[in-house]
Every structure is written in C-alpha cells, then in structure tokens.
C-alpha cells in the first residue's frame, strides 16, 4: 500500500463523522499520524461527546495506524491551541491541517435568527481561523505546512436558505487567498475544497438514490491530493461523485471611462462591455487589480492626448 503521507502529522477537524472521518481514515491508511478532532455535537452544533471521534481513533488503531482523539471546541482559540500542542507533544510537528468541522442552521434570510447566523460563522469561519492560527507558527518554524479549507458551492454560487453558511464558506476562500501569500516563503501551501457528498450535513438536500454515487471517499481523494508535498497553493478544488474541477475568480477586461463621464448613468450604460468575458484576467493578489487599473487608465489617457495633439 502507498505511504504517501509517511511520517506526516495531520489534524482533521470534525472527523467523527462524514467527510472528516473519511479524510482521517485515508490519511492514516497512507501513513500519517492523525489527530481526530470532533466536539461531538449534532448537525446544528448542539451537544458534545467524544464518542464518535474515539471510535474513529480506534478504527485507525485497529488497522495498524496511529491516531489520538481531541474533543476540543474549535470556536475557542484555547481549544485549538491545546489540540495543536497535543500533536506537538506526541509527535513533534504538524504537517497537515484539514479544516472540515461545520454545522448547519438553514433558513431563509427573512426568517433567520441572527444568533444562528453568528453560530454558523463561528464554526466555519472563526473555527478555521483559530485552527490556522494555532498551526501557523509551528509550520513556519519547520518550513512546511499544508492547510486545506472546506468551502462550498453554496458560498461560491449561492444556495437558497443558506445565507449564513454561504457567507462563511466564501469567507474561508478570502482567508485562503491571503494565507497562501503569507505562507509562501515558509513552504506553507493553502488550498480549498468544495465538496459534494452524501453525509448527515447533506441528507436533507440530496436525493437518497445519489448516496452511493456521492461517496465521501471520492471527495477524500481530492482533499488529500491538495495536501501532498507537490500540492499547488491558492486553488479551489471541487469534488463529488468522482468528478473533480477547479473554480477560480476572474476579472473581465472592463472599460475605461474618462473623468468627465464618470457618473452612474454612463457606467450603467457600459454594463454590457464591462461584463464581457471575452478577455479575462486571473489576478495573483489584490494589488494586481490596482496595477491593472492604473495601466489601463494611463494608456487610455495617453492615447486620448496623442489623438488630441494629432
């Protein structure tokens, strides 16, 4: 059997069930030592129990792998720090972090209680932030790290009744975009996974007949590919049902509007050209947009001045 992650130490949050469990089992099978984190709450984040995570650890150990359980609440930074310290104390390093833990509290925005909005943000966004912060210095010190965010098509494209979940899942993409820049000099690669799988998180959303097709294992194959030594950085991998694709954010070429015409009516009138996707730009960072706009504006102004002189 391949030992792709031999001697690597991995942390997987929300690993007591579903995708997290699948990720943890596969990492262990491929040679990694795994911290199996799970608060043990239900799908809405209520309750707590280490039973599910402990069962995953026992399954890994029964198969000859190495794992330990962590029942910490990732919405508390102290718990995230303690989880990372547990891995450092046991194995001396942390190579991989898969931010998988999540909850659902779906309702239309009109009917949603803001407390439920905040709770989802706390788990998906701040839980991810806390775990990334807790592993950041150890990864910098060892000049190696692979971090995987879990985003969602609900964040990338929208989904009725999931404004809280969608907002959180798009937010972790923004976090990835910056961390991959800040981590580059220390060989820390940061990517995102947008999964589609039949789990307790999606049991009300997917037809029962799709359960076998949308296996957790098919998603895990993509997740682990983004955690290897050769993995890219700053990419969004979509995975489900054995299908894998890349999502990226492009910016259209757009238009330059001269100062005397820079008003709402004129910009609105140019919308078709602004939205034209014939020519698109994949920007490496936020400054790239500013630099492109300055070049485009200066070129247009210089061209206009040259025409006036002629």
Task: Look at 243 and 92; give whichever has higher pLDDT.
Answer: 92
Task: Look at 293 and 233; give whichever has higher pLDDT.
Answer: 233
Given a cut of 80, whether residue 81 has pLDDT beyond it is yes
Given a cut of 80, whether residue 213 has pLDDT beyond it is no
Active site residue 144: no
Tell me what pLDDT residue 21 has: 97
Tell me what pLDDT residue 300 has: 87
Mean pLDDT of the region 234-244: 93
Mean pLDDT of the region 30-51: 78
Model confidence at 197, pLDDT cuts 50, 70, 90, reads: confident
| Residue environment code for 24-54, b if the CB has 16+ CB neighbours within 10 A, otherwise e | bbbbbbbbbbbbbbbbbbebebeeeebebbb
Given a cut of 70, whether residue 207 has pLDDT beyond it is no
pLDDT tens per residue, range 103-127: 999 999 999 999 999 999 999 999 9
Token look-up 């701040």 returns 126
Please name every residue paired with 10 in a beta bridge, in sequence order, or none if there are none. 34, 96
Tell me what pLDDT residue 8 has: 98
Task: Look at 304 and 40; give whichever has higher pLDDT.
Answer: 40
Given a cut of 90, whether residue 208 has pLDDT beyond it is no
Q: Do the strands 236-240 and 243-247 form a parallel or antiparallel pair, or are they unpaired?
A: antiparallel
Mean pLDDT of the region 31-51: 77
Token look-up 């997290």 returns 20
Tell me what pLDDT residue 310 has: 42
Torsion angle in degrees (nearest 10) through CA of 164, 165, 169, 172: 60
Mean pLDDT of the region 237-247: 93
Q: Which is nearest to 32 in space by CA: 9, 52, 55, 60? A: 9
Mean pLDDT of the region 3-10: 96
Given a cut of 70, whether residue 237 has pLDDT beyond it is yes
Mean pLDDT of the region 241-250: 93
Q: Which of 144, 157, 165, 244 is catalytic?
A: 165
Model confidence at 234, pLDDT cuts 50, 70, 90, reads: very high
What are the residues whose beta carbons fall under 8 Å from the beta carbon of 189, sequence distance 6 or more?
145, 146, 147, 180, 183, 231, 232, 233
Mean pLDDT of the region 221-236: 98
3-state secondary structure the chain: CCCCCCCCEEEECCCCCHHHHHHHHHHHHCCCEEEEECCCCCCCCCCCCCHHHHHHHHHHHHCCCEEEEECCCCCCHHHHHHHHHHHHHHHCCCCEEECCCCCCCCECCCCCCHHHHHHHHHHHHHHHHHHHHHHHHHHHHHCCEEEEEECCHHHHCCCCCEHHHHHHHHHHHHHHHHHHHHCHHHCEEEEEEEECCCCCCCCCCCCHHHCCCCCHHHHHHHHHHCCCCCCCCCCEEEEECCEEEEECCCEECCCCCCHHHCCHHHHHHCHHHHCCCCCEECCCCHHHHHHHHHHHHHHHHHHHHHHHHC
Tell me what pLDDT residue 306 has: 57
Distance CA 275, CA 272 (A): 5
Distance CA 253, CA 110 (A): 36
Tell me what pLDDT residue 264 has: 97
Given a cut of 60, whether residue 45 has pLDDT beyond it is no
Mean pLDDT of the region 80-104: 97
């Amino acid at each position: 059997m391949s030992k792709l992650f031999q001697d690597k130490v991995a942390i997987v949050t929300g690993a007591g069930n579903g995708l997290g469990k699948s990720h943890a089992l596969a990492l262990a099978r491929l040679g990694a030592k795994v911290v199996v984190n799970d608060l043990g709450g239900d799908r809405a984040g209520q309750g707590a129990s280490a039973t599910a995570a402990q069962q995953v650890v026992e399954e890994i150990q029964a198969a000859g792998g190495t794992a330990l359980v962590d029942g910490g609440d990732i919405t508390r930074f102290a718990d995230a720090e303690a989880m990372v310290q547990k891995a450092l104390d046991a194995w001396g390093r942390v190579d991989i972090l898969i931010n998988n833990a999540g909850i659902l509290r779906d309702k239309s925005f009109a009917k949603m209680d803001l407390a439920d909005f905040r709770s989802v943000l706390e788990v998906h966004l701040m839980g991810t932030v806390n775990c990334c912060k807790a592993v950041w210095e150890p990864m910098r010190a060892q000049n190696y790290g692979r971090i995987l965010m879990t985003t969602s098509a609900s964040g990338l494209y929208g989904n009725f009744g999931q404004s809280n979940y969608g907002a959180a899942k798009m937010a972790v993409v923004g976090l990835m975009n910056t961390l991959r820049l800040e981590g580059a000099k220390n060989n820390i690669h940061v990517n995102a996974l947008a999964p589609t799988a039949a789990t307790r998180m999606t049991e009300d959303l997917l037809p029962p007949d799709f359960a076998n097709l949308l296996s957790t294992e098919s998603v895990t194959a993509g997740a682990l590919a983004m955690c290897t030594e050769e993995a890219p950085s700053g990419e969004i991998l979509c995975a489900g049902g054995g299908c894998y694709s890349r999502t990226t954010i492009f910016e259209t070429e757009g238009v330059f509007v001269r100062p005397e015409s820079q008003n709402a009516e004129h910009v609105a009138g140019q919308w078709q050209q602004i939205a034209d996707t014939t020519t698109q730009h994949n920007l490496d960072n936020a400054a790239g947009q500013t630099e492109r706009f300055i070049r485009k504006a200066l070129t247009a102004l210089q061209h206009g001045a040259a025409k006036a002189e002629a």
